[in-house]
Amino acid sequence: MAEQQINSQIQTNNEELTNTITLHDIIRMVIANWYWFVLSTVCCLCAAYYYLASTPKIYSRTATILVKDSRKGGDVDLTAFSDLAGFQNRRNVDNEVFILQSRRLMTNVVKQLNLTVNYSVSDGLRRRDLYGQAPIDVKFINDNDNQSLAMEITPIDDDKIRLSEFKDQFVTKHESRSVITAAYGDTIPTPVGQVVVQKSLYMAPDYIGVPIRVTKSSLGRTTNAYRAAVKSDVANKQASVVTISMNNTVPRRAEDVINTLIEAYNEDAIEDKRRVSVATGKFIKARLDVIGRELGDVDRNIEDIKKDNRMVDITSEAARSVSESSRYKTEGLSLENQINVAEYIRTYLNDPKNVGELIPAMAAAGTNTAIAKQIEDYNSAILRREKLLENSSERSPVIQDLDNLLAAVRRSIISSLDSNISTLEIQRDAMRKEETQANIRISTMPSQEKVILGITRQQKIKEELFLYLLNKQEENQLNYAVAESNSRSIDYAYGSNAPVSPRPMMILGIALIVGLAIPFGLLYLIGMLDTTIRGRKDIEDNVNAPFLGDIPYHEGGGKAGIVVRETGRDALSEAFRILRSNMTFMSVSAGTDIRTILFTSSDPHAGKTFVATNLAMTLAMAGKRVLLIDLDLRRHALSSQLGHSNSKTGITSYLAGTVSDVESMIQNSGFHQNLDVIYAGVQPPNPAEMLLSDKLDKLIAEMRGRYDYVFLDSTPAMSVADAIITDRLADLCIYIVREGVLDRRQLPDIERLYREKKLHNMCIVLNSTRARRHGYGYGYGYGYGYGYGYGYGDDYKEVSYRKRIKLFFRSLAHKVKR
C-alpha cells in the first residue's frame, strides 16, 4: 500500500513537472539547439540587411493650410450679388478636403511636374532616383498618356548616347534587345516611339558610361499612385486646418507635389470665382443692354408727349396755361369794354339830339389815342363855337364853317369808331379763342400729367436698375481683379531629413525577433503536427495494460545491437536492469513463474529485437541462462542482426522436419556464455501455418526445462497473425511501443488487444524515450545519473535538450488545446 502511494506521488510529481516549463528549461533548450537559433538569426539579419540595402529610403513631407470655412469662423467671400438672398458662397472644410484629393487636381500636378517620366541609376543594391537632377531630358514625340514604356540611355561621350533595353507592351524580345547609337538633339526612332534626348544642366563626366533608366508611366496610373500617396486630413474637427502629407523616396519631389497641389487648388478656386465673375459680368452686360433699350424707349415716349403737347414741363405748362387763360379773359373783357364805349360814342354821335353837344370825356378814355384826339379836337371846336356864338350868330360864316368842320369831325369820329369797333371785335374773338384753347389745355392737363407720371415712374425704375447694374458691374470687375483662394497656406511642405522608413534599428530588431521565433515556431508546429507517441503518459492515458518500463533513446547501436555492458553505468544499462527487475514483479502479480517471454509490437520498427537481445543480455549477465528464438519467419530481424539470416539449421528447418537434432539449432550468441540463440532459418512460404505446428510447442517445452528464460522474438501483432499464434507459448507478452514512431491513434487497438486478452499477460515497454531532467522520467525518472550519479556523457546532453524541446512545445500545444 505504501509502495503504491509512493508510486502515485512520483507519477503526480512527474506529470506536474512535465506540464511546467520553466525559464531554465527554455534556456537549456536554446543552448541545446543554439546552432538553429544562430542560423535562423543570421539568415533573418542577412535578409534584413539586404532589405535595408535594396529598399529606397522613404522621407515624409507635410504642409498645412487654413481653409476658409464659414461654419468655423473662416472668412466668407461674397459675390457681386451678396446682398441678395441665395447668392452667398459658403464653404465646408470637409468638402475642400475631397477637392484636394480629387483626380482632376492631381492630374494637373502630374502634368505640371512631368511625373510620368522618371530617371534613375543603379546605386549598389538599390536604384537612385534622379528627380530634379537628371543629366538628360527625354522628349517623347509620339506622346501618349496611356502608354507605359522603359529604356536605358547610356552617355558614351559628350556627343553620343546609346539607347537599349526597350520595354513596352507591344515590343518584341528581338526589338527589346536592339541597341541604338545617336547624338544629342536627334529625333531617334526607337521600338517604343520617336524620342529626343537633350543634355540638362546636371550632366557631369561622372555619368559617362553609366546607364540611366528612363521609365514613362501612363497618366492614369501615375495619377492614381500619387493620389494614394498624398493624404489630406482635417487636423482638428473644431478648426478648419488641413494637413497634407506625402511619403516619397525623393524629399524634393514630395515637397514639389504638395506645394504644386496647393497651388493648383488655389488656382482652381480662383478660377472658379473668376468663372462666376465672368458669368455675372455677362449677365449684367446683357441686362444693361436690355434696360438701356427700355430706358431709351421711355425717354422717347416722354419726348414724344412733350413734342406733341409742346411742353417742357407739365407743371410750368399748367401754370402757363392758367395764366394765359386769365390773361386772355382779362384782355377779352377789356376789349369788350372798349367796344361798348366805342358803340356808345358812336350812338351818341349818331343821335341828332347830341349834335353840337360835347362828347363825354369818359368816352374818350375808353378809345384809342387817335379817336381820343379826334374827340378832344371835336370838344375843343364845340367850346370855341360856343364862345363864338356869344359874340355872333349862327349864320355867321365863321360859325357855319365851324359847324361844317364839326360835322366833318363827327363823321370822322363815327367812321373811326366803326373801324375801331371792328378791330376790337376781331381782337375780342381772338382772345376768346385763345382763352378757349387755354381752358382746353387746362382741362387735358390731369390726363397728360397721369400719363407722364406713369412714364416718369418707369423711367425712374429703369434708371435705378440701370445704375444698380452699373454699380454691380464695377464690383464684379473688382472681384475678378482681386479674386482670392479658399485657403491660406500656414506652412509649405517641410519635413525631417531623416527617413521615416525603412528604420534600420526597428527592421534589425524585428529580424532578430523573427530569427529567434522561427525555430520556436517550427518546433512548435512540428510538435503540433506530431501524432506519434510522446511519452509514457500517452500510453497510460489510453492503454490499461501494465507498464513494464521504458528504454532511453540511443543513437547507433553496438555490436549486433547489444548496448548493455556488464559493469556499465550508463542510462541504457540501467534501463534494462530496471526492466529486468520489473519482470520479477510481473511474476508476482501473475502468480506464475515467467519463463517464456514473447516480444511483439504494432509496427516493424518498434525495436522489439533490440529490446529482446539487450534484455536477454542483461539477464545473462545476471547469471541467468537465456535462449533467444527468432520466430519472425518473415523478416528474420534477429537472425539478420546476428549475421545468420539464412541459417540452414534454423527453426524453420526444425518445424519443416529437415532438422531433427535440437542441439544443432542452438548456437551461442558470442556475446555471453549464458546467452544462446536459435535462428529463424530459411524463409518458409507459409509462416503462419508453420507456427501452428506441435513441434514448436514441444521445442518450447523442452527449452523451458533447459533455460531460465526463453525469449520469442515474433512479428508485429498488428501486421500479421504470427504473434497471436505464438502467444500460446508465452508466459509474458512484452508489447514494444517506440516513442516518436507509433501513431497515438493506434493506442486504442493496443487497448483492444489487452482487453480482449489476445496476448497472454500483456505488458508495455516504451522504447526510444528521450532523457529528461530530474522528475521528467516516465518509469525511470529517478535513475540514470540523476539520482545515482550515473552520467550520460555527450549523448545525454545532446539528446536530453532535444527531448526538452518536444516537451516544451507539447506543453504549449496542450495548453492551446485546453
Grid coordinates representing 112 are 505640371
Q: Which of 109-113, 367-371, 732-736, 756-760 has the lowest mean pLDDT?
A: 367-371
Which amino acid type is present at position 446? Answer: P
Residue 14 has pLDDT above 60, yes or no: no
299-358 pLDDT per residue, tens: 777 777 766 666 656 566 667 667 777 777 787 777 777 778 777 777 877 777 777 777
Which amino acid type is present at position 366? Answer: G
As a dihedral over the C-alpha atoms of residue 769, residue 775, residue 780, residue 784, rounded to 10 degrees, the angle is: 90
Report phi then psi at 119, rounded to 5.
-120, 135
Which amino acid type is present at position 519? Answer: P
From 221, 248, 272, give the residue that closes a domain.
272
Question: CA separation (Å) from 567 to 144, 555, 573, 622, 709?
Answer: 91, 20, 9, 11, 22
694-710 pLDDT per residue, tens: 999 999 999 999 999 99
Same domain for 354 and 265, yes or no, is: no
460-476 pLDDT per residue, tens: 787 888 788 888 888 87
% of the chain at pLDDT higher than 70: 82
Question: CA separation (Å) from 782 to 42, 775, 785, 805?
Answer: 39, 7, 8, 20
- Using DSSP's 3-state secondary structure scheme, residue 244 falls into strand
- Residue whose C-alpha is closest to residue 117's, from 200, 209, 231, 230: 200
Distance CA 605, CA 129 (A): 63
- Radius of gyration over alpha carbons of the chain, in Å? 69
Report phi then psi at 242, rounded to 5.
-115, 130
% of the chain at pLDDT higher than 90: 25
Distance CA 490, CA 262 (A): 11
Report phi then psi at 490, rounded to 5.
-90, -50
Same domain for 410 and 328, yes or no, is: yes
405-429 pLDDT per residue, tens: 877 877 787 887 778 788 878 888 8
Residue 635 has pLDDT above 70, yes or no: yes
- Using DSSP's 3-state secondary structure scheme, residue 763 falls into strand
Which amino acid type is present at position 123? Answer: D
168-190 pLDDT per residue, tens: 888 888 888 899 999 999 999 99
Same domain for 221 and 340, yes or no, is: no
Which CATH number do you get for residue 577?
A: 3.40.50.300
Residue 767 has pLDDT above 80, yes or no: yes
Same domain for 656 and 745, yes or no, is: yes
Distance CA 17, CA 341 (A): 165
According to DSSP, residue 56 is labeled P
Distance CA 185, CA 150 (A): 19
From 450, 481, 512, give the residue that closes a domain.
481
Q: Does any domain span residue 181?
A: yes
The pLDDT mean for the chain works out to 80
Same domain for 446 and 561, yes or no, is: no
Confidence of residue 784 (pLDDT cuts 50, 70, 90): very low
From 272, 302, 336, give the residue that closes a domain.
272
Same domain for 204 and 353, yes or no, is: no
Confidence of residue 779 (pLDDT cuts 50, 70, 90): very low
Q: Does any domain span residue 226?
A: yes
Q: Does any domain span residue 164?
A: yes
Does residue 189 have a cis bond before it (omega within 30 degrees)? no
Same domain for 352 and 406, yes or no, is: yes
Residue 810 has pLDDT above 60, yes or no: no
Measured at the alpha carbon of residue 609, what is the angle toward residues 608 and 612, in degrees to the nearest 5? Answer: 85
- Residue whose C-alpha is closest to residue 82's, from 290, 310, 277, 327: 277
Confidence of residue 370 (pLDDT cuts 50, 70, 90): confident
Q: Does any domain span residue 594?
A: yes
Report pLDDT for 783.
Answer: 35
Same domain for 453 and 562, yes or no, is: no
pTM over 0.75: no
Give 762's strand partners: 733
Q: Does any domain span residue 795?
A: no
CA atoms within 13 A on the CB side of 286: 6
Q: Does any domain span residue 19?
A: no
Q: Does any domain span residue 195?
A: yes
What is the number of structural domains in the chain?
Answer: 3
Same domain for 538 and 656, yes or no, is: yes
Which amino acid type is present at position 16? Answer: E
Residue matched to cell numbers 538599390: 126
Report pLDDT for 337.
Answer: 79
Q: Which residues contact 715 (CB under 8 A, 6 or more apart)?
A: 600, 604, 631, 632, 633, 634, 635, 687, 722, 723
Same domain for 217 and 341, yes or no, is: no
Distance CA 771, CA 802 (A): 9
Q: Of 119 and 269, which is predicted with more confidence? A: 119
pLDDT, mean of residues 620-638: 90
**How many Cβ atoms sit within 10 Å of the Cβ of residue 628?**
27
Host domain of residue 378? 314-481
Q: Are 670 and 629 in contact (CB under 8 A)?
A: no
Same domain for 659 and 722, yes or no, is: yes
Q: How many residues does the chain have?
A: 818
- Residue whose C-alpha is closest to residue 231's, from 258, 193, 253: 258
Same domain for 202 and 326, yes or no, is: no
Distance CA 684, CA 705 (A): 28
Question: CA separation (Å) from 512 to 125, 309, 522, 774?
Answer: 22, 111, 16, 33
Grid coordinates representing 617 are 543480455
Q: Does any domain span residue 677?
A: yes
530-551 pLDDT per residue, tens: 788 888 888 888 899 999 998 9
As a dihedral over the C-alpha atoms of residue 655, residue 661, residue 663, residue 665, rounded to 10 degrees, the angle is: -40
**624 class by beta-carbon count within 10 Å (0-12 exposed, 13-18 middle, 19+ buried):** middle
